[in-house]
């Protein structure tokens, strides 16, 4: 009797796996293309008719979340060049004899004239900038109705990009002070936080604040550390580190003052030991109630 063969036919598993990988790669490229076009995660989610959380979950599953947000924050100069897709070549090109004059190119199609609404909104955006309060006052609307009006005119993406750039610039100018940025935009800190969430800026702005905190805590003792406590109290308070720095300065400066107490030139020696000007030394004494 013939011995049965031990060879087993392979199932279609590897083929399905390869097809699934190709589909995932195509989906990843499609999502990256949307991020390159919209430059804003909420707009990408809206174009896909999904929530931002669902979009982030899909990006994590494909392993491209960081790349997608990096593409959204980049500029046109940083976009990768388009690569040709391999495929069957077309028919051979027939070259026209030199004796036959080339046909004149067809006239370029004229761009359709912009609607009066689009032109008006574009001019208003250029005049007052992407400041929602000012735009709402001029248009007599606010909130979702204001955004819907720009969306209907095809200017939603332009408003989004300009609003993000303005918030970034003001955040840098006021060194992470939410209160000052909101005041310049003529809105409230709470409304500013909602705009930052809507435009996908929360992590970026908080990262800038973390950098400012580290910078303040790296200041050297005594002069640099004391000067920021004296002259940048509002900034340090918004960064959440003023109380800790106040305690540190009070303890260390208090030890030096107690060692000089009773001396005739105690104030001058106090300023010299802390490398402060006479005026800053007096301000520090008043702040710490040293007498």
Cβ proximity of 236 and 245 under 8 Å: yes
pLDDT digits (tens, 9 = 90+) for 166-215: 999 999 999 999 999 999 999 999 999 999 999 999 999 999 999 999 99
Q: What pLDDT shows up at residue 97?
A: 62
- Please compute the mean of the pLDDT values over residues 109-114 and round it to a whole number: 56
Cβ proximity of 266 and 241 under 8 Å: no
Q: What pLDDT shows up at residue 192?
A: 95
User: Dihedral (C-alpha) 76, 79, 85, 86: value to the nearest 10 degrees?
Assistant: 140
Q: Is residue 37 over pLDDT 90?
A: no
Q: What pLDDT shows up at residue 42?
A: 85
Who contacts 202 (Cβ-Cβ below 8 Å, separation ≥6)? Answer: 193, 196
Who contacts 51 (Cβ-Cβ below 8 Å, separation ≥6)? Answer: 45
pTM, two decimals, is 0.59
Q: What pLDDT shows up at residue 7?
A: 47
Q: How confident is the model at residue 84 (pLDDT cuts 50, 70, 90)?
A: low
Identify which of 286, 262, 291 has the alpha carbon closest to the alpha carbon of residue 276. 286
Cβ proximity of 195 and 147 under 8 Å: no
- Please compute the mean of the pLDDT values over residues 238-249 and round it to a whole number: 94
Q: Is residue 129 over pLDDT 60?
A: yes
Q: Is residue 155 over pLDDT 60?
A: yes
Q: Is residue 6 over pLDDT 50?
A: no
Identify which of 120, 109, 199 has the alpha carbon closest to the alpha carbon of residue 155. 120
Percent of residues, the chain, with pLDDT higher than 70: 81
Identify which of 267, 227, 272, 271 has the alpha carbon closest to the alpha carbon of residue 245. 227
Q: Is residue 5 over pLDDT 50?
A: no
């Amino acid at each position: 009797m013939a011995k049965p063969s031990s060879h087993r036919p392979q199932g279609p598993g590897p083929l399905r796996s390869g097809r699934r990988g190709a589909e995932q790669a195509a989906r990843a490229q499609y999502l990256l293309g949307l991020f390159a076009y919209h430059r804003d995660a909420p707009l990408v989610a809206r174009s896909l008719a999904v929530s931002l959380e669902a979009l982030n979950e899909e990006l994590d599953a494909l392993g491209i979340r960081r790349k997608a947000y990096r593409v959204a924050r980049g500029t046109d100069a940083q976009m990768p060049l388009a690569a040709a897709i391999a495929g069957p070549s077309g028919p051979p090109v027939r070259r026209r004899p030199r004796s036959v004059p080339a046909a004149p190119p067809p006239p370029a199609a004229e761009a359709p004239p912009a609607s009066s609404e689009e032109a008006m909104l574009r001019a208003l955006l250029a005049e007052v900038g992407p400041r929602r309060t000012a735009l709402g006052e001029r248009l007599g609307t606010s909130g979702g109705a204001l955004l819907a009006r720009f969306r209907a005119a095809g200017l939603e993406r332009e408003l989004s990009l300009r609003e993000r750039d303005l918030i970034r610039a003001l955040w840098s100018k006021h060194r992470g002070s939410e209160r000052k940025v909101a005041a310049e935009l003529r809105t409230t800190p709470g409304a500013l936080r909602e705009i930052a969430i809507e435009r996908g800026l929360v992590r970026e702005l908080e990262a800038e604040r973390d950098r400012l905190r580290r910078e303040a805590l790296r200041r050297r003792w005594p002069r640099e550390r004391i000067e920021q406590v004296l002259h940048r109290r509002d900034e340090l308070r918004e960064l959440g580190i003023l109380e800790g720095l106040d305690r540190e300065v009070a303890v260390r400066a208090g030890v030096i003052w107690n060692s000089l107490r009773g001396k005739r030139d105690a104030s001058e020696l106090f300023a010299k030991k802390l490398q402060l000007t006479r005026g800053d030394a007096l301000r520090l004494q008043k702040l710490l109630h040293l007498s």
